[in-house]
Structure 1
Amino acid sequence: MTTTAPRLGPALTRLLLVAAALLGALLATAGPASAHAALTGSDPQDGAVVATAPKEVNLTFSEQVAMSDDSIRVLDPAGKRVDTGEIRGLCSGSVIRYGVALLPGLPDGTYTVAWQTVSADSHPVAGAFTFSVGAPSTTSVALPDTAVGGGLVGTLYGIARYLAYAGFVVLVGGGVFVLACWPRGASVRSVQRLVVRGWLTLTAATLALLLLRHPYTRTGNLGDVFDLGGLRAVLETKTGAALSSRLLLLGAAALFVAVLFGAYARRTDEKEHKDLTFGLAIGGGVVAAGIAGTWAFAEHASTGIQPGIAMPVDILHLLAVAAWLGGLTALLVALHRDPSVERRAVERYSNLAFGSVVVLAATGVYQSWRQVGTWSALTDTRYGQLLLVKVCLVAVLVGIGWVSRRWVRRLAERPAKDGTGDAEAEAEAKAETEAKAETEAEMKAEVETGTGDVPEDAADEPSEAGAAGTERAAQLARQRAAVATAARKKARDADPERAGLRRSVLTEAAVAVVLLAVTTVLTSTEPARTEEEAGQGGSTAGATAVPNRPIDVRLPFDTGGVDGKGTVQLTLDPGRTGANALHIYVLRPNGRGLDVPEVKVAFTLKEKDIGPLPVLPDRIQTGHWTATGVQLPMPGEWLLQVTVRTSEIDQTTIEKNVKIG
């Protein structure tokens, strides 16, 4: 007798193939990660032609970034580096600016500024622009064809990110399913393998991310995964700290898994079992929250607005996803590998999934508001479009889950109607008993036949007879296993409620595979709020009305008293209508800071009879004054007036017209 293992129906097989194809398409089209940080301005600006060589090049970003000595490189027309390599941070308040000094005496020509850095949410960002001294010229500078974070390294990094999420979901969700829904599952081999494989996947993916981090953010060369210097530099970053912390927490998770499938599975005393359940739930919850925190600490939740609220919300979001989708995976394995899983366990998971979806919806709404900001960004940005796809997939999952809950209710109501109890488990046990009895009878008959009718020369060949008997016993054992498998399949397929539940759960799992891929791409995409704000900063109301960089003004002054001469250096960022940040530096003729008693600023738009709008900056340190939230309501040519008082009686007011977009 020969049988084959149970197969999935053609429709379900096609469903899994479609899910796999969608997953591959998502990962293939993800492309280089768009960073949270964006370049909002530069000095000199892109394409500018300046009369004399500047002393430095400054870049302004929308968010904090991580800079190293070679993050900003300035190259002459021949491709030779002409900067000092020393990055100076000029960050203050909402202004995130970095500069690099240039070598003195640069000749005329076109210079290339190439920059590469890592945003605060762990994603690499890079770009390049040119400016000219005197007049434009030809340049032989060749920039890399592959964008930072792209190419083979970027693809491998994206796959590792997906596997890390999948491993976390299976590890945490499988553990929650066993503890909260199906304690007997701790002794089921298929469930044990599932959770252990989740741990192995997450651990291997985390190690891969740690090794790939340096080539992913810096070189783009796959051979640099074993660069110890690069690995050491990665460990000093926020992302490196998060990944190494995750590995330490996975060590604690391994202990949790060992206890769950060891002492917990063998415990028979009810009180000890409850105590151990409570301890595993508390300890496992802390470890799971810690692992989820490694994502929240290093990615989108840690930057932007309200990070103190966003990070705990992100942890709750990840835990809800794991409990829902990881528990779904464990239930699918249980239904296919151990069809005798109790109805009570299925009901418990149904309630757990419902609670997880509620938490997921609440935290997802907050995250969407925080990362999108406006309704238009949902359709006009890549992040918003991906978010809409994710919402649609979640809605599909919830719909399929509603169908699954109907099957669960039917499964729970059936014993009350027909009084049969768990007919499937009884039928399976009966089938296995009958199969075992049948094969034992066959073996007994074979033995009796062999001893009753033994050829005379058989006594001379005991070894051959023993080998034949062993082979026959093995064949009968295989037949018995095949009969038992067929009996289990027959009993399983005879239960329409469980068969319907298995199909709906399998469909949920297929959609969940794609949902997890969309989530992975979404976490590596520039948030819509940041993209939209950067676009507004770069928009123009006219060719000459809006610079694409903060407004910098230098105004000499002389109050006539002692220490009454100097220069006011004023920066208005982003230099457009709405809220701006104002920085004022009062400098002596030698360039050192001048400590003055008072500085006042006013803006007037004469053509609209607006103003003067007074601004009272706060003193930060010697020679440095700042003000935030400086509101300029309309575009136009504004009169900027700066009043500097150097003593009780010595002061002066200096003026300049500036164009505001």
Structure 2
Amino acid sequence: MKTTITPRVRTLVLLFLAVVGMLFAGAGTASAHAALTGSDPSSGVVVNKAPTQVSLTFSEKVATNNDSLRVLDPKGKRVDVGKPSNISGTTYATQIRSGLPDGTYTVAWQVVSADSHPVGGAFTFSIGSPSKTTVSAAAEQDVGGGLVGGLYGFGRYMSYAGFIVMVGGAAFVLACWQRGAGVRALQRLVVSGWVSLTAATLWLLLLRGSYTTSGKFGDIFDLNLLGQVLQTKTGASLVSRLLLLAAAALFIAVLFGAYDKREDEEKRDLTFGLAIGGGVVAAGLAASWALSEHASTGLQPGIAMPVDVVHLLAVAAWLGGLTALLVSLYRAPADNPVGRATVQRFSRLAFGSVVALVATGIYQSWRQLGSWSAFTDTGYGQLLLVKIGLVALLVGIASISRRWTGRLADSDTDTAKAETVVEETAAAEEHEPEKEHVTASAKTGGSSAASGDPKRAAQLARQQVAVDTTRQKRLRDADPNLFGLRRSVLAEAAVAVVVLAVTTALTTTEPGRTEEDAKAAKASSSSSSSSSSGALTLDMSFDTGGKDGKGIIRVDIDPARVGGNEMHVYVQRPNGRAFDVPEVKVAFTLAAKKIGPLPVTPDRITTGHWAANGIQIPMAGDWKISVTVRTSDIDQTTVDKNAQIG
């Protein structure tokens, strides 16, 4: 049975384009990785007096520029003054002009979260009374989307693919098949990985300014934006990646130059040095992602970043080595075939990589999701389930490849068999007049060319190449077990393309923990002071800053009037479950009359439920209700919200 590489390569390319197209065409706006947890004034509120500033509080620190916070009057004219500033923790504010008339004002914001992804939104508040406005719908930009967003996403995919192919291909040569350093197809594969990663890094550096600000394609070559990008954490990571790629180029030159020309005895000494140097460069390249994306923010960044580096290196060793094995099985010359020993060494390398992937993946899943429900209730969890299923499929196909490997003959037997097949092929060709004529003609091609017939010489040379190619193909297809191995490895590579696409999508998807926090924050802001049947309910988000310190406080006051009241305090985690905290305190302050704070220490009823009876409110007014919650011996915070009582 004859096989050709061209249709399979075409299938892989089409599969690659289809997956990328589906992921990025349906991606739309990039998901937010920093959530807006509060604002002053709040969304939709009507205030009697114009504020002097507008402040926004996020779930993590963000990067701002001159246009990050814009306040627009009903006609769309900006009324904010100066650059936004960080006033405390994760709260940022911009000053607004004094003497603003009554009406509805729009706050449009666009910032860059700590994990490098842009996020934006808009809301309105009113002074005096609401009015018509034409800017609220247009104020919220398509942050991270559009043409620039799609190009940036494709650049991220190509950078990951280039890293995996370059690092995995080099690791395959050093650890599994040192004779492969002289195989031209493997050389081209590793070099193409380096070129892809370098080009994608430069492309991301140019796109970064437009991607995080205007989203306009024309701003890609704006040198001012490029200068701003170079001063950010992401810009520094991309520049560091380019410097490390220069060192990687030197490593590749040695691997496929001096190393290939050494004898087997000399290679052993050089292999150790190349492995150490290459490992350091590969770890540095992996760190350029870990230091600027998900791992650098949130819980335990000091542990998460090294874990992320190990995870990326394991992916490269497995999937990049798989790509190198596939190329070797199809493109290795007949006199230097891939034997059983090589495949077995890669099998051990792949197994170790899978173990590292599982260990680091479990930690990353816990860190990014935080609860079992987030697997099905968040987009990140659903994508992660898809990735887990694909990896399981990949491992299943790999087990089939291992069975084919066990059926392969030993390397010495393979070599003897190859020589036999070559002899049989040559003998068969001697009895084929057409091929004999081609071979004979090719041998006299030099004299034909010398006699002044270059066209004939070129034709004979092409015919000889065709004969050699056919001979190589027959030799590769002579062992049915090797043929079966090639087919199963090809299937593995096809699934690996999809795994890489899903992984890239995960890096641009809002983590489950953040998504749940954002939902809680929206619920808190939307359920502002509401009175029903004389009762008052307030929801407030809190973060004590320690481990597992985020949650939501719900305060119920009944009947919310002057005189005696009953109060219930419910403390919940972001996912809605009861939060067992050691202490809760409440204080009431009426600033307009200089009353308070009036402290109240509620009694613990059950897990997450505290209550107090007979709370005396001396007069009606706009009371500030402050709640202090302690989650550990040293971690506590105070949050407050105003409410009309009486």
TM-score of the superposed pair, with normalisation by structure 2: 0.80
What is the deviation of 1:581?
11
Is the 8 Å Cα contact of residues 124 and 148 (structure 1) preserved in structure 2? yes
Matched residue, 1:546: 538
Q: Which amino acid aligns with 1:302?
A: S
The CA distance in 2 between the partners of 1:256 and 1:659, in whole Å, is 69
What is the deviation of 1:7?
4.5
Matched residue, 1:558: none
RMSD: 3.8
Q: Establish whether residue 231 from structure 1 lines up as the match of residue 226 from structure 2.
A: yes
Is the 8 Å Cα contact of residues 5 and 330 (structure 2) preserved in structure 1? no
Task: Report the CA distance shift for 1:62/1:659 in structure 2 as closer, same or farther (over 3 A).
Answer: farther
Matched residue, 2:301: 307
Instruction: Give 3-state SS (helix, strand or coil) of 1:467's partner.
Output: coil
Matched residue, 2:338: 341
Matched residue, 1:621: none
Q: Establish whether residue 27 from structure 1 lines up as the match of residue 19 from structure 2.
A: no
The CA distance in 1 between the partners of 2:639 and 2:68, in whole Å, is 37
Task: Report the CA distance shift for 1:397/1:51 in structure 2 as closer, same or farther (over 3 A).
Answer: same
Is the 8 Å Cα contact of residues 424 and 492 (structure 1) preserved in structure 2? no
1:524 to 502, 508, 532: 508
Instruction: Give 3-state SS (helix, strand or coil) of 1:298's partner.
Output: coil
Matched residue, 1:404: 401
Instruction: Give 3-state SS (helix, strand or coil) of 2:93's partner.
Output: strand
The CA distance in 2 between the partners of 1:536 and 1:444, in whole Å, is 77
Q: Establish whether residue 537 from structure 1 lines up as the match of residue 529 from structure 2.
A: no
Is the 8 Å Cα contact of residues 586 and 600 (structure 2) preserved in structure 1? no
Is the 8 Å Cα contact of residues 122 and 139 (structure 2) preserved in structure 1? no
Q: Establish whether residue 430 from structure 1 lines up as the match of residue 423 from structure 2.
A: yes
Task: Report the CA distance shift for 1:405/1:606 in structure 2 as closer, same or farther (over 3 A).
Answer: closer
Q: Deviations over 1:262-320 (max 9, x none)?
A: 110111261x3222111110000000000000100000000000000000000000000
Question: Greater CA deviation, 470-479 or 32-41?
Answer: 470-479
Q: Which amino acid aligns with 1:507?
A: A
The CA distance in 2 between the partners of 1:132 and 1:220, in whole Å, is 29
Equivalenced residue count is: 571
1:42 to 30, 39, 42: 39
Q: Which amino acid aligns with 1:187?
A: G
Instruction: Give 3-state SS (helix, strand or coil) of 2:43's partner.
Output: coil
* Structure 1 unaligned regions, length at least 5: 451-462, 553-571, 590-598, 613-625, 633-639, 643-655
Task: Report the CA distance shift for 1:627/1:641 in structure 2 as closer, same or farther (over 3 A).
Answer: closer
What is the deviation of 1:439?
6.2
Q: Establish whether residue 123 from structure 1 lines up as the match of residue 120 from structure 2.
A: no
Q: Which amino acid aligns with 2:258?
A: A
Question: Greater CA deviation, 501-510 or 29-38?
Answer: 29-38
The CA distance in 1 between the partners of 2:456 and 2:196, in whole Å, is 41
Matched residue, 1:241: 236
Q: Deviations over 1:555-582 (max 9, x none)?
A: xxxxxxxxxxxxxxxxx99999856999
Matched residue, 1:215: 210
Matched residue, 1:371: 368
What is the deviation of 1:380?
0.7
Is the 8 Å Cα contact of residues 42 and 60 (structure 1) preserved in structure 2? yes
Question: Greater CA deviation, 487-496 or 114-123?
Answer: 487-496
Q: Establish whether residue 490 from structure 1 lines up as the match of residue 474 from structure 2.
A: yes
What is the deviation of 1:445?
9.6
Matched residue, 1:188: 183
Is the 8 Å Cα contact of residues 27 and 158 (structure 1) preserved in structure 2? yes
Q: Establish whether residue 140 from structure 1 lines up as the match of residue 134 from structure 2.
A: yes
Instruction: Give 3-state SS (helix, strand or coil) of 1:46's partner.
Output: coil
Matched residue, 1:65: 62
Task: Report the CA distance shift for 1:273/1:76 in structure 2 as closer, same or farther (over 3 A).
Answer: same
Matched residue, 1:170: 165
Matched residue, 1:466: 451
Matched residue, 2:534: none
The CA distance in 2 between the partners of 1:582 and 1:611, in whole Å, is 11
What is the deviation of 1:441?
6.8
Q: Which protein has the larger Cα radius of gyration, Structure 1 or Structure 2?
A: 1
Is the 8 Å Cα contact of residues 603 and 641 (structure 1) preserved in structure 2? no
Q: Deviations over 1:566-621 (max 9, x none)?
A: xxxxxx9999985699999x9x99xxxxxxxxx99654379998469xxxxxxxxx
TM-score of the superposed pair, with normalisation by structure 1: 0.78
1:76 to 73, 78, 90: 73
Q: Deviations over 1:531-573 (max 9, x none)?
A: 1122123336897223567799xxxxxxxxxxxxxxxxxxx99
What is the deviation of 1:342?
2.5
Instruction: Give 3-state SS (helix, strand or coil) of 1:90's partner.
Output: strand
> Identity, % of aligned pairs?
58
Task: Report the CA distance shift for 1:20/1:269 in structure 2 as closer, same or farther (over 3 A).
Answer: closer
The CA distance in 2 between the partners of 1:440 and 1:357, in whole Å, is 50
1:478 to 462, 466, 481: 462
Instruction: Give 3-state SS (helix, strand or coil) of 2:227's partner.
Output: helix
Matched residue, 1:569: none
Is the 8 Å Cα contact of residues 383 and 526 (structure 1) preserved in structure 2? yes
- 1 or 2 for the larger relative contact order (CA 8 Å, sep ≥6)? 1
The CA distance in 2 between the partners of 1:14 and 1:233, in whole Å, is 42
Q: Establish whether residue 102 from structure 1 lines up as the match of residue 71 from structure 2.
A: no
Q: Which amino acid aligns with 1:494?
A: A
Task: Report the CA distance shift for 1:21/1:423 in structure 2 as closer, same or farther (over 3 A).
Answer: farther
What is the deviation of 1:5?
8.9
Matched residue, 2:557: none
Task: Report the CA distance shift for 1:242/1:473 in structure 2 as closer, same or farther (over 3 A).
Answer: same
The CA distance in 1 between the partners of 2:34 and 2:197, in whole Å, is 28
Matched residue, 1:499: 483
Matched residue, 2:564: none
The CA distance in 2 between the partners of 1:445 and 1:106, in whole Å, is 93
The CA distance in 1 between the partners of 2:310 and 2:488, in whole Å, is 26
Task: Report the CA distance shift for 1:465/1:40 in structure 2 as closer, same or farther (over 3 A).
Answer: closer
Task: Report the CA distance shift for 1:169/1:222 in structure 2 as closer, same or farther (over 3 A).
Answer: same
Matched residue, 1:276: 270
Is the 8 Å Cα contact of residues 167 and 320 (structure 2) preserved in structure 1? yes
Is the 8 Å Cα contact of residues 23 and 501 (structure 2) preserved in structure 1? yes
* Structure 2 unaligned regions, length at least 5: 531-536, 543-551, 554-570, 614-625, 633-637
Is the 8 Å Cα contact of residues 71 and 78 (structure 2) preserved in structure 1? yes
What is the deviation of 1:31?
2.2
What is the deviation of 1:58?
1.2
Instruction: Give 3-state SS (helix, strand or coil) of 1:113's partner.
Output: strand
Instruction: Give 3-state SS (helix, strand or coil) of 2:27's partner.
Output: coil
Q: Which amino acid aligns with 1:539?
A: A
The CA distance in 1 between the partners of 2:523 and 2:513, in whole Å, is 15
What is the deviation of 1:21?
2.3
Is the 8 Å Cα contact of residues 63 and 113 (structure 2) preserved in structure 1? yes
Instruction: Give 3-state SS (helix, strand or coil) of 1:138's partner.
Output: coil
The CA distance in 1 between the partners of 2:177 and 2:134, in whole Å, is 67
Q: Deviations over 1:145-186 (max 9, x none)?
A: 751100000000000000000000000000000000111111
Is the 8 Å Cα contact of residues 40 and 548 (structure 1) preserved in structure 2? no
Instruction: Give 3-state SS (helix, strand or coil) of 1:57's partner.
Output: strand
Is the 8 Å Cα contact of residues 5 and 485 (structure 1) preserved in structure 2? no
Task: Report the CA distance shift for 1:581/1:131 in structure 2 as closer, same or farther (over 3 A).
Answer: farther
Task: Report the CA distance shift for 1:110/1:445 in structure 2 as closer, same or farther (over 3 A).
Answer: closer
Q: Which amino acid aligns with 1:630?
A: R
Task: Report the CA distance shift for 1:119/1:464 in structure 2 as closer, same or farther (over 3 A).
Answer: closer
What is the deviation of 1:508?
0.7
What is the deviation of 1:56?
1.3
Task: Report the CA distance shift for 1:432/1:274 in structure 2 as closer, same or farther (over 3 A).
Answer: farther
Q: Which amino acid aligns with 2:25?
A: A
Matched residue, 1:460: none
